[in-house]
Structure 1
Amino acid sequence: MKTKLSDCLRPLLLGALLFTGTVTADVRPLDRVVAIVDNDVIMHSQLQQRLNEVQQTIAKRGAALPPEHVLSQQVLERLIIENIQLQIGERSGIRIGDEELNGAMASIAQRNGMSLAQFQAALARDGLSYEEARDQVRREMIISRVRQRRVAERIQVTDQEVQNFLASDLGKLQLSEEFHLANILIPLPDGSSSETIQAAERQAREVHRQLRQGADFAQLAITRSASETALEGGDMGWRKAAQLPAPFDSMISSLRPGDITEPLRAPGGFIILKLLDKRGGGTLVREEVHVRHILIKPSEIRSLDESRRLAERLHQRLQAGEDFATLAKRFSEDPGSALNGGDLNWIDPNALVPEFRAVMANTPAGQLSKPFQSPFGWHVLEVLGRRATDSSAQFREQQALTALRNRKYDEELQTWLRQIRDEAYVEVKL
């Protein structure tokens, strides 16, 4: 796990002289200010700590270290920029509460495959305290939020820019379909005789026959293929169609994951491809569900158990034939749907909380669910219909919008960082 824990705001009192009676303790070196940044300062101890971290990172990469005075200037400049952003965050009232910070720490631990206790132990092994880690994560969250407010809101992408990007060669390349492929190669030396070619083709067709009968592709690749990826089970990774030799480039998009091609002659021999997976481009079919519900929320005057009993009574009334919309308008406490008779219209299941999504998935069209609980309270739902929606064009436009925003964000961020650096009062005392 790679963790950067620069502590650019932690006050260090390394210059204190300690006295006990008339006996003077050891004198420790005084910390000193290396830069004044608006209303704050950067201490030499902070610079040294970050400098050590950067030097360790460069050394781990096996790269040569630049002269220390050059590296110190670069690190100090980074600390100055961070300090300016933190002060902007403080003036803007950006705060990261303990509950939000605890959630972020738990998420970091989970992404690294650890429990929170294991994460704390890993930090300790690296000589870092958990409190230092929390402090650094808090600062990084503040800086991220400052950038979102000050930079992201300045970015505008027009519909025309999106369409131009989709029509460009760069856009087509970035958004085209990708294929996760594996291959088996039966080799043919240059200048092979007709007999050698026929023998190689027979061998390739025998391998293909075994695959069609259920043989494991990866095992056959290891034992029969001459490809450089044979020992990886033939796994070629992700490729775009334009990266494949003819005729595979034109036929690959028609395959479904799990399909294999016939043995085809290509430079180097006969090749069999297997499509492991595909992503991007093409048709994106998304299921949508037409659903309505009644939500009963617990409150100060109604306990969770009382909410459940009310949901059960409403379920009985619906089963007895009472009108769903009428009961929803009267009892449902979902402000977004109650006035519409509980109707959520056509909705993407992924937009719903897991508890609601699971019950909805197991409820046939035209039927009621039993009362169930979600983080919002107790529900009764009715599935009115299901449909498959082709959202390929919408998805590609969203991809193009994201790509353009990311490109503009990088450009705008650098401009903004230069601007705030120029506008800040900075006095370097290094």
Structure 2
Amino acid sequence: MKTKLSDFVRPLLLGALLLGNASIATSVSAEVRPLDRIVAIVDNDVIMQSQLDQRMQEVRQTIEKRGAQMPPTEEMEQQVLERLITENLQLQIGERSGIRISDEELNQAMGTIAQRNNMSLDQFRAALERDGLSLETAREQIRREMVISRVRQRRIAERVQVSNQEVKNFLASDLGKLQLSEEYRLANILIPVSESADSAAIQAAERTAMETYQQLQNGADFGQLAVSRSASENALEGGDMGWRKAAQLPPPFDSQVREMSVGEVTQPVRTPPGFILLKVLDKRGGETQVRDEVHVRHILIKPSQIRSEEESRRLIERLRDRILAGESFADLAKNFSEDPGSALNGGDLNWVDPNSLVPEFRDVMTNIPSGQLSEPFKTPYGWHILEVLGRRATDASEEFREQQALNALRNRKYEEELQAWLRQIRDEAYIEIKI
């Protein structure tokens, strides 16, 4: 099966919605094409026919991979061109803001993508070539996505703040309690309405939205209609929004989705960006969050300029022998341990989450029976001995709920800010479409 570049880059950028095989303006426009021409002027830049053709080809491949029906070419071309315009505007903002991606950062990103797909860079390059993409093209795509992500981070994410009181209020609300029970994988279709639209334009958009709803009720493919009609950022992905909590959705969708079954679609709802239809693709979650914890104590001896690695090892071995001979673990920890956080407590780390510890310490702690003194072992911090005093499974649901509430509120604010900002930069830009 062919490996799409979008399959590699999608896990890389957190918080940014990657655009299946995003456009590669520099590489594509560098190719000499006799029939190449300008299809849109975007402020101080242009979009070429070759870029539009390249993205159209990538979108077709994505749709074919999903097994969905191909929308009409003209509708898809308008959708793809609008996406290219939005990307271009963000890249121009990044250029004016002085955002640069260094070769070191780009190399690290490429290495991360290859590693996450269990590939070496050579294997990654070969996979790209099988898909008709060069390594240079892939680097340019990833560079552009990183620039867009940083532009959004500066313009949007840094402005989004959630207070502790907002989290408490949210958790105490009926909606907050509701959102903890289930998570929804959603898809959307947005029929846009301009802020300056008159009543005739609004009515036309509403008719289109209702026609779309009726087509869906009659069995039309949601993904195909999203590609051909939706103005949402995820339109070219079939409208797939990923997994969301109900609290991340604006009213009335936050309460509607909990009443819906998988596969159901909402009727069009008027929102500031336009008329929106939502489809529930899947549901999950609601389980109690249980965390394993271990009560452990240890003694740490660190090598130093006056004590070699070997001398440190011999000292920890002597301390272990003294404990086995009957001396107090706690007293020896107070007198010898060089972990300032636990020495005064007799080496006691209290109840800890194993996942918060370095692997070397965690492995010994996990495998040793309670009440048994470990053999000396080494971590990046030095030489240790440890004793497990107990194990328990703790209900971490409250901490989990607080984190989920924080994420939900932050994501909701981010999405609202992002959509408003994208509309703003589009409305303020000089756009001249040549086709």
Q: Which TM-score applies when normalising by structure 1?
A: 0.57
1:420 to 1:32, Cα distance in 2 relative to 1, 3 A: same
- Taking the TM superposition and a 5 Å limit, the aligned residue runs for 1:178-189 are none
* 1:10 matches 2:26: yes
Note closer, same or farther for the CA distance 1:327–1:139 as it changes in structure 2 (3 Å cut): farther
Aligned residue for 2:111?
103
Note the C-alpha offset of 1:32. Answer: 4.0
Q: Does structure 1 residue 323 correspond to structure 2 residue 332?
A: yes
Deviation at 1:134, TM superposition (A): 3.4
Which residue is equivalent to 1:225?
none
1:63 aligns with 2:69: yes
| Unaligned segments of structure 1, at least 5 residues | 16-27, 179-241, 244-277
CA positional deviation for 1:380: 1.3
Match of 2:152 among 122, 130, 147: 147
CA contact (8 A) 1:290 1:386 kept: yes
1:287 maps to which residue? 293
SS of residue matched to 2:22 = coil
* C-alpha contact (below 8 Å) 1:292/1:342 kept by paired residues: yes
Once the two structures are superposed, what CA deviation does each residue of 1:246-271 show, in whole Å capped at 9, x if it has no partner? xxxxxxxxxxxxxxxxxxxxxxxxxx
What is the deviation of 1:394? Answer: 2.1
Asked whether 1:353 is paired with 2:358, we answer yes
Distance 1:419 1:138 in 2: 24
Verify the 8 A CA contact 1:89 1:142 in the aligned structure 2.
yes
Asked if structure 2 preserves the Cα contact closer than 8 Å seen for 1:337 and 1:343, the reply is: yes
Q: In the aligned structure 1, how far is the partner of 2:299 from the partner of 2:155? A: 40
Q: 1:162-182 deviations in whole A, cap 9, x for unaligned?
A: 44544555544442389xxxx
Q: 1:390 to 1:45 in 2, by over 3 A?
A: same
Query: Do structure 1's residue 123 and structure 2's residue 128 form an aligned pair?
Result: yes
Against the structure 1 CA distance between its residues 156 and 6, is the aligned structure 2 distance closer, same or farther, given a 3 Å change threshold? Answer: closer
Q: Aligned-pair distance for 1:158?
A: 4.0
Report the 3-state secondary structure (helix = DSSP H, G, I; strand = E; otherwise coil) of the residue aligned with 1:127. coil
Q: Is the 8 A contact 1:171 1:400 kept in 2?
A: yes
CA distance in 2, matches of 1:38, 1:168: 45
**Kept in 1: contact 2:364–2:374 (CA 8 A):** yes
Partner residue in 2 for 1:84: 89
Q: Percent identity at matched positions?
A: 56
Q: Shift in Å at residue 414 of structure 1?
A: 1.0
In structure 2, the residue corresponding to 1:323 is in which secondary structure?
helix
CA shift in 2, pair 1:143/1:370, >3 Å: farther
* Contact 2:86–2:422 under 8 Å retained in 1: yes
| Equivalent AA in structure 2 for residue 360 of structure 1 | M
2: CA distance, partners of 1:106 / 1:412: 33
Describe the shift of the 1:10–1:174 C-alpha distance in structure 2 as closer, same or farther (beyond 3 A): same
Q: What pairs with 1:155-194 in structure 2 (closer than 5 Å)?
A: 155-168=160-173, 170-176=175-181
Residue by residue over 1:281-310, the C-alpha shift from the partner in whole angstroms, topping out at 9 and shown as x without a partner, is: 446353144444537479xx89xxx96424
Deviations along 1:49-105, one digit per CA (max 9) or x if unpaired, are: 11222234345544343342x433332221232233334445354536144213322
For 1:370 and 1:40, how far apart are their aligned partners in 2? 66
Q: Structure 2 unaligned runs (5+)?
A: 7-19, 184-258, 261-283
Query: What corresponds to 1:382 in structure 2?
Result: 386
CA radius of gyration, larger in: 1
Provide the rounded CA distance (Å) in 2 between the counterparts of 1:395 and 1:307.
Answer: 44
Aligned to 1:103, the other structure's residue is in SS state helix
State the alpha-carbon separation in 1 of the partners of residues 434 and 299 from structure 2. 65
* Alpha-carbon contact 1:95-1:142 (below 8 Å) kept: yes
CA displacement at 1:358 relative to structure 2: 0.6
Structure 1 distance, partners of 2:344, 2:107, is 35
CA change 1:414–1:338 in 2 (3 A) is: farther
Report the 3-state secondary structure (helix = DSSP H, G, I; strand = E; otherwise coil) of the residue aligned with 2:314: helix
Q: Deviations for 1:172-205, whole angstroms, at most 9, x for unmatched residues? A: 4442389xxxxxxxxxxxxxxxxxxxxxxxxxxx
